Structures are given as structure tokens and as C-alpha cells.
Structure 1
Amino acid sequence: MQAGIITIGDEILLGQVVDTNSAWMGQQLASIGISVPGKWSVGDDLSAIKGALQQAVQNCDIVFITGGLGPTKDDITKIALADFLGVDMYFDQATYDRIVAIFKKLYKPLSESHRGQCMLPQGTKLLHNSQGTAPGMWFEHEKKHIISMPGVPSEMKAIMTEEVLPKLKESSSLTILHRTLLTSCMSETVIEDKIQPYIKELPPYVSFAFLPSLAQVRVRVTIVKDKQDFHAQAELDTIVENIMKIIGNDVVYGMEDATLSSVIKHLCVNKGISIATAESCTGGGIAANLVSTPGSSDYFLGSVVAYRNEIKQQILKVNEDILSHYGAVSKETVEAMVMGIRNLTHADIGVAVSGIAGPSGGTPEKPVGSIWVAIGNASTMESYFIKGYLERQKNIDYTIIFALSKLREFILRHYVDERSAS
């Protein structure tokens, strides 16, 4: 089954609003085995909306529309749908009564324009909107399905999650299961090369998708089987377990929606480990990433952004001789920064970074993208050199992910594995 997505609104075409709806919808539809071969973005124009509808209906089994269901004059999706379907509009009293009740509860006056929100095309099956006033609408047209929802992301997601997806799942004769492995610091091609021999041995109802981003790759495994096959989940579990062994636990850091910071928090809290960071070129980005996970105060002690050498010396007590002899971007300096932040905060583990993010500041010996990362505790120090990019923000973002990934590996090697064996 194939679906098309139409997003409506001048604000999207003008770049005033970023369309996150279609990306989220595509993910949800893929999870139940519905592919999205096409997407249309159109403004608040009747002919443009009807043209997109015509193309989408011709090419897809289901058409999803977001936007244009509000109470203002530019919200014309319902009019376009009525014209396209060749039906009249009617006033839906139940929708109006619900809007009146909502506004009464909020102690807000109801405007006349809200009556217009209750004018709906004939033949619609209403979809309850638990997050707003505009209901979703489901039409059947020439053996195709047209589903229209508000453009507000929270309202669209509520209707999709509570109304649309359950109905689509019920109508399917298939069991579709997904599992997503999250990896870091290994390229898409290397991962694919590693698991390709294993993939070739799997049956055709098992598929893989590789979704790369900066320093990270999501590996999605999908099984599509008949609903009567009750062994699909166990089969998926076995495949995922085997893939993890092939790629390596040092590379696979989690599943589904986990983040490096959430995984690190879990490890640190379980093992009673405290962390502190000393950052130069990342400007506190590692610390910001760590504290983005709720409860980070249980293990994260603090951070020093030592951008200038004077701060490295005064606060982190990096020896002036190290800075003058080796430079701020060096193995020796980041290791001294680790010792400095640990002494300052009494953290079990210190993380330090220093580098040339760019676009200026590079030399022939240390070009833009030269970055050092160090991680250490009372007995062990590990240092890494990164040859990054020419783009400043890409260097910063990559270094943050790299440092977090190596921090996780450090904890696994020196705390989890050792303590498990003892």
C-alpha cells in the first residue's frame, strides 16, 4: 500500500514554518508497512490544492493532508476537498457543540469564525481531535482514502496516533515489526560491509535500512509476515542480537529513541560514577548534551569552558610549559585538562576537548579540523585525535558525538566489564 502526503500553507512555502509533519508521518507509515512515494507542498490556493489532490489520488492508495482546517479565511482545505469530491458542505452541530464546550471551559469568547470551522464536506467520517477544535476527516473516493488533519503538529500527531494508525493496522493482514539499532563512530559503508554476509543468509521478508547522520548510523531491521505467524517477534529478536554481535557492543549504543546522553546517565547512575567536562572548541556542547537528559544531576558534576589558554592555566591548572611547548591543541594539553577538571570537581571521570573548529586558526602542522579528546580517571588516561572537517559547526557537532561515544566505551571497559568480572 502506498500513501501520498500533501502539506498546505503559504507559511511552509515561504520558509516561515518548517514542515516536520510529513517527516513524522512518513516514519509512522513506514512502521506499518505503508510506503510514501510522493509528497506535495502547496500554498493556500484552491486550484493548487485540487491539483495536488488529483496527482496524489492517481498515484497513491491513501492521501494524507495536513493544514488549512482552522477558522480563518485562508483555511480553505475543506472547500477544496468538497470541490474535488463533488459534494456540498454541511453544518455539523456536534462539532460546534464540542467547540462551544471547549471555549466555555477555557473562559474564552467564541467568535463567529468558529462556526465556519464546523462547515464540513458531505460524506466525511470525523476523526476526534483530542488536542484542538478542528476534527480530522476521512473520505472514501473511488476506492481510495483521503485523510485530512490540522497542520498543528500536536493535533496531527494525536489524530494519527489515536484514530488513523489503529484503523490502518486493523485493516492489514500483515504483521510488521521493526527494531532500530543506534550506532556511533562507524560509517554506514563499514557497517553494511560487516553485516552483508549475514544479511544474504536471511529470508526475503527481512529487510534492512541504513540511516546515516553525522558520526551516527541508525540500522533499521524490518520483518513483514502473515498475522498468523506468532514467531515473528522471536525471530526479530534473534536477528537483532546477531547483528549487535557482528557490529560490536562498542559501536551499538542503544535501541529506538535512546540517546548517548541517556545511555551514559544509565551507566553512571547504576555504577555510581560521576562525570565532569573541560571544553574548549565545543564551547560546553558536551555538557549541554549530557544535561539534556532528565536526572543528569545524579552523576554530572559540572563543566569548565576553557576557551582561552589563560583559563586553562588559571582554573584547570594546565602548566604553562605544556601550552607553550605542545600548544593548546595537543594530547598533552587535553590530558592535563582532564586532570585539572577532576581535581577541581572530584569527579570519577574527566572529559576534555581542545581543537581548531575553524574556519580560521589552522596551520600547516595543525589544520582546521584538528581536535584532541581525552578521557581519564584516577588510573587510566585515553586520548584520541580527530581529523575533522572544514566547516566549523560540523567539527563542533562531530566532536561532541565522538567524545560522548568514547566516554560510553570508557565506562564499559573500566567500570561495567571489570566490575562484572569481579
Structure 2
Amino acid sequence: MNAYIITIGDEILIGQIVDTNSAWIASELTQIGITVKQVRSVSDDAWAIENTLRDALADVELVIITGGLGPTKDDITKNTLAKYFDSSLVFNEEVYNDVISFIERRGSQMNTLNRDQALFPEKAKLLRNLNGTAPGIWFEEEGKIVVSLPGVPFEMKSLMKIEVLPRVQAFFQLPAVVYQTATITEIGESQLALKIEDWENKLPQGMKLAYLPSPGMVRLRLGMTAGNKQETKKLLDAELQKLKQFIPKNIVSLNEESLPVVIGNLLINSNKTLSTAESCTGGNMARLITSVPGSSAYFKGSLVAYANEIKTQVLGINPELIEAYGAVSQQVVEQMALSVRKLLKTHYAIATSGIAGPDGGSDEKPVGTVWIAVADDNNVVSKLFKFGNEREINVTRSSFAGLNLLRKIILNDL
């Protein structure tokens, strides 16, 4: 069972926005046993949309389209699909009522463009969108499905979860595929592959491994077509447990939990609290921590001490330390961790100070040099990291490195 994903919009092709919809849709389809054969982005052009759709339907059974369903003149997807499937656009009272309800909740008033969104292809099935004004559209033809969804990510995701995925599973006979994912840190993809080569070579027949690298992390995803989902899950769990023999200090989680979630669980289970003092990470660690629902139970706050005067005036770092060793130093970052822990009255504190780049480096401290410290009730532990030249990646890797150092301290696994 194969699928195409088509994203529509000039704004994607000119790089004005990043297409995150395709990655999310592909992940959801994969989890229900559908293989995504191709992802395409096309312009707001009827000819381009029609030809791309024609190519897709010649090759796969399911096509999911996002974008171009809005109320303005450049949103032509609905009209193009209606023409492609030889379907008239007719007034749909259910859509109209949904649009009125949505607009009234926002304190706005209906206009002509809003009303036109109630014009719906007569041959299509309605996918109600309760989070916006553009409904989803479901076409069936010769045993194949074409679904058109709004390009707004949260509207698209809601429609996928509530309407599309259940309908697709009911329409097609899909194999049950089970996945389990391990989160690995402090080791690169190629080095990891060498370390676990024997384990990978001995995986049971039909079990597939995927390496999913990102800055500071590698996720290992095991997948297998299941006759019995529970039994297959047990098989996958058992294989992931064997990773402890090969990379015991690199495993963050064997059950798909992210590092911020793992940190949160450790702090909740130990009834401890956390604060951060961030220089080169600029608050990114705090962002990761607070991305977890319920993080207010253990995270008290963060101080972004980007400038040296904030380090000295707010955190109380001795200016002579900065003068003698520099802001990016073991001495300064340890004092930052100790100071913010005292200031915010937490059990643990993480501090970062580094040179994210692209400028600011020197022969002694090149771009990518980062000091990270974690302070607790009894001690402060610091570590020097040497990352690369890319600013955004350095910020991300530093943030994960700080969280991981805290994890290892809590687990007494340094």
C-alpha cells in the first residue's frame, strides 16, 4: 500500500516557509503500514496540480494534498480538484454552519470570501474542520483515494487524526506495523553503527532498523509487520534491551521518550526542582524543558545571562574570574550554575557558556567551544564540549548536552 504527499503553495517553493506537513503526514502513514513513495511540492498553478495528481494516481492508491484551500484568489486547490474529478461546486449548509460558528467564536463577521468556502465539490465527501474555515475534501475513484487538507499545520493534524487516518484504515486492508524507538546521545551516527553492528546483523528476519539522526541525538527505530501486535511489541522491546550490552552509557530511552521528557520524569520521581543559567544557548534549554506538559512541577525558571554584565550584576559572578579566564571557561560556568541554583532555590541547576558562532572564536577557544556545568546540593560538575561551526546546531547540541549531563548526574552515571 503506497501513498504520495503533495504540498501546494508558492511560499514553499520560494523558501518563505518550511514544509513540516509532509514529514508529519509521512510519519503518521508509516505507523499504519502505508509506504510513502514520494513527496512533491508544487506551485499554486492548476496545470502543475493536475499533472502532479495524475502522475501520483498512476503510481499509488492514496494521495494526500495540503494547502491551497483558503479563501483568497491564490488558493485554487478546491476548484482544481473539482475540475479534475468533473464535480460541480455546490453550497454545503454543514460547511457554512461550521464557518459561521468558527468566525463567531473569534469575534469576527462573515464576508463573501468566507461564504464561498461553503461551496463544496458535489462528488466529494466532507471532512469537517472545526479549527478553521476550510474543510477537508475526500475523493474516491476506482478504488483510489485523494484527500485535500488545509495547509495550516494544526488544522491539518486535527483532520488527519480525527477523519483521515480512521477512514483510510477502514477503506484499505493494511498490514499492522509496530514500531519501537530508542533515543541515543553522545555518539554520532557512523560511530553508533559500528558499535552496534553485531546487534544489527542478528536482528530477526523481517525486523527493520532505521537510523534517525539529529543534532545531539540519534533515534533508532525498529519496525516489524505484525500478526499479533502485542507479541510483536514484545519482540521489539527485547531486541532494544540488548542495546545495553553495546552502548550502555548512550541510551536515553528505549520507549520513544525524548530527553526533556526523561529529565522531567527523573525530577518528578525524586521530587527535585531545576533552574538554568544560559549564555550561548539563549534560553533554548528552558524552551526544551517547558515543552513538556506539567514541567511547572519541577522547573522554576531560567536566567539568560548573555552579556557579561548580566553574569556579574544579576548572577553575581566575580568580574575578576571573567577577566582572568574569560566568560567561556570552567570557572565562570561553574559559578553560573551555583549562583542560579541559589538565586532560584532549586535542587539542580544547569549553566552554559560557549561560542556558538559564526564569529567570536579564537585559536585558544574556536567556534563551537562550550562549557556546561550542573550544580546540585553537594557538588558542581562541569564538562568541555567541542562542537562545530554552525550556530544553530551548536545551540541545539549544547542544550541537549546540558540536559544529558543532568540526566547522568541524577542517575549517578558519569
TM-score (norm 1): 0.85
Q: How many residues are paired up?
A: 412
| Change over 3 Å in CA distance of 1:310–1:8 after alignment to 2 | closer
**CA distance in 1: counterparts of 2:277 and 2:155, whole angstroms:** 42
* Matched residue, 2:54: 54
**CA distance in 1: counterparts of 2:159 and 2:294, whole angstroms:** 31
* Matched residue, 2:269: 270
* Matched residue, 1:408: 407
**CA distance in 2: counterparts of 1:72 and 1:323, whole angstroms:** 56
Deviation of residue 401 (structure 1)?
A: 1.3
Read off the aligned partner of 2:145 and give its amino acid letter: H
**CA distance in 2: counterparts of 1:2 and 1:209, whole angstroms:** 19
* Matched residue, 1:162: 162
Whether the aligned pair in 1 keeps the contact of 2:33 and 2:174 (CA below 8 Å) is no
* Matched residue, 2:25: 25
Deviates more, 1:160-169 or 1:313-322: 313-322
Mapping 1:12-411, distance limit 5 Å: 12-85=12-85, 87-95=86-94, 98-99=97-98, 102=101, 106=105, 110-113=110-113, 116-170=116-170, 171-226=172-227, 231-244=231-244, 246-248=246-248, 250-253=250-253, 255-256=255-256, 258-309=257-308, 311-319=310-318, 322-411=321-410
Whether the aligned pair in 2 keeps the contact of 1:339 and 1:350 (CA below 8 Å) is yes
| Change over 3 Å in CA distance of 1:407–1:123 after alignment to 2 | same
| Change over 3 Å in CA distance of 1:249–1:169 after alignment to 2 | farther
**CA distance in 1: counterparts of 2:392 and 2:102, whole angstroms:** 46
Whether the aligned pair in 2 keeps the contact of 1:183 and 1:218 (CA below 8 Å) is yes
* Unpaired segments ≥5 residues, structure 2: none
Deviates more, 1:24-33 or 1:153-162: 153-162
Read off the aligned partner of 1:160 and give its amino acid letter: M
Whether the aligned pair in 1 keeps the contact of 2:178 and 2:229 (CA below 8 Å) is no
Could you list the per-position Cα deviations for residues 54-95 of structure 1 after superposition, in whole angstroms to 9, with x for gaps in the alignment? Answer: 12112222111222334444333233223323x241525454
**CA distance in 1: counterparts of 2:351 and 2:148, whole angstroms:** 51
**CA distance in 2: counterparts of 1:83 and 1:292, whole angstroms:** 43
| Change over 3 Å in CA distance of 1:169–1:248 after alignment to 2 | farther
Whether the aligned pair in 1 keeps the contact of 2:98 and 2:130 (CA below 8 Å) is no
**CA distance in 2: counterparts of 1:302 and 1:128, whole angstroms:** 40
**CA distance in 1: counterparts of 2:64 and 2:301, whole angstroms:** 47
Whether the aligned pair in 2 keeps the contact of 1:328 and 1:354 (CA below 8 Å) is yes
**CA distance in 2: counterparts of 1:341 and 1:88, whole angstroms:** 64
**CA distance in 2: counterparts of 1:198 and 1:57, whole angstroms:** 40
**CA distance in 2: counterparts of 1:237 and 1:155, whole angstroms:** 34
**CA distance in 2: counterparts of 1:405 and 1:35, whole angstroms:** 34
Deviation of residue 403 (structure 1)?
A: 0.8
Whether the aligned pair in 1 keeps the contact of 2:3 and 2:36 (CA below 8 Å) is yes
Read off the aligned partner of 2:159 and give its amino acid letter: I
* Matched residue, 1:6: 6
* Secondary structure of 2:196 counterpart: helix
* Unpaired segments ≥5 residues, structure 1: 418-422
Whether the aligned pair in 2 keeps the contact of 1:103 and 1:110 (CA below 8 Å) is no
Read off the aligned partner of 1:267 and give its amino acid letter: L
**CA distance in 2: counterparts of 1:307 and 1:115, whole angstroms:** 50
| Change over 3 Å in CA distance of 1:273–1:117 after alignment to 2 | closer
Deviation of residue 30 (structure 1)?
A: 1.2
Deviation of residue 273 (structure 1)?
A: 2.1
Deviation of residue 304 (structure 1)?
A: 4.0
Deviation of residue 230 (structure 1)?
A: 5.6
Whether the aligned pair in 1 keeps the contact of 2:99 and 2:114 (CA below 8 Å) is no
* Secondary structure of 2:411 counterpart: helix
Read off the aligned partner of 2:32 and give its amino acid letter: I
**CA distance in 1: counterparts of 2:114 and 2:343, whole angstroms:** 61
| Change over 3 Å in CA distance of 1:230–1:343 after alignment to 2 | closer
Read off the aligned partner of 1:235 and give its amino acid letter: L
Read off the aligned partner of 2:8 and give its amino acid letter: I
Deviation of residue 112 (structure 1)?
A: 4.5
* Secondary structure of 2:240 counterpart: helix
Whether the aligned pair in 2 keeps the contact of 1:250 and 1:409 (CA below 8 Å) is no
Could you list the per-position Cα deviations for residues 164-205 of structure 1 after superposition, in whole angstroms to 9, with x for gaps in the alignment? Answer: 211322333421111222222221223322333222222332
Whether the aligned pair in 2 keeps the contact of 1:96 and 1:115 (CA below 8 Å) is no
Read off the aligned partner of 1:358 and give its amino acid letter: G
**CA distance in 2: counterparts of 1:214 and 1:408, whole angstroms:** 18
**CA distance in 2: counterparts of 1:329 and 1:241, whole angstroms:** 39
**CA distance in 2: counterparts of 1:97 and 1:311, whole angstroms:** 55
Could you list the per-position Cα deviations for residues 350-375 of structure 1 after superposition, in whole angstroms to 9, with x for gaps in the alignment? Answer: 32322233333333222222222222
| Change over 3 Å in CA distance of 1:15–1:281 after alignment to 2 | closer
| Change over 3 Å in CA distance of 1:325–1:10 after alignment to 2 | closer
| Change over 3 Å in CA distance of 1:62–1:409 after alignment to 2 | same
* Secondary structure of 2:131 counterpart: coil
Deviation of residue 406 (structure 1)?
A: 0.7
Whether the aligned pair in 1 keeps the contact of 2:2 and 2:36 (CA below 8 Å) is yes
| Change over 3 Å in CA distance of 1:365–1:177 after alignment to 2 | same
| Change over 3 Å in CA distance of 1:117–1:244 after alignment to 2 | farther
TM-score (norm 2): 0.86
Could you list the per-position Cα deviations for residues 269-298 of structure 1 after superposition, in whole angstroms to 9, with x for gaps in the alignment? Answer: 221223333333333433343344344443
Read off the aligned partner of 1:330 and give its amino acid letter: S
What's the Cα RMSD here?
Answer: 3.1
| Change over 3 Å in CA distance of 1:250–1:217 after alignment to 2 | closer
